[in-house]
Amino acid sequence: MVAYTDKQDTSSDTIRVNTVTMYTKNNCEFCEKAKNLLHSSKNYVIHEVQLDKEPQFIDSVKEKLGNTVPQIIINGVHVGGYDNLVEYLEKWN
């Protein structure tokens, strides 16, 4: 797990941290792009589940979230894949 918490909310003295669960696979270009995008935002705690290494989650992820990776959940809300993440960050950051 990697924590990025140095971005402060300028309206107060609190640090806003968003929790992310990201289902990925090795050698996935969009998975890397999503991780890099979240890394650049710096206010996310990322828990990555690599489906290559944890195949017991594959069926559940496909059934509940979709067939492609990455599948991204932020603060308990399913955002979707990389393109959806870009839209989400443009709207909420």
Q: What is the pLDDT of residue 12?
A: 53
Contact between 44 and 17 under an 8 Å Cβ cutoff? The reply is yes
CATH number for domain 2-92, candidates 3.40.50.1820, 3.40.30.10, 3.20.20.70, 3.90.1150.10:
3.40.30.10
Asked if omega into 70 is within 30° of 0 (cis), the reply is yes
Question: The pTM is what?
Answer: 0.81
User: Which tens digit of pLDDT belongs to each residue from 27-75?
Assistant: 999 999 999 999 998 789 999 999 999 999 999 999 999 999 999 999 9
- Whether 2 has a pLDDT exceeding 50, the answer reads no
pLDDT band at 13 (very low <50, low <70, confident <90, very high): low
pLDDT band at 4 (very low <50, low <70, confident <90, very high): very low
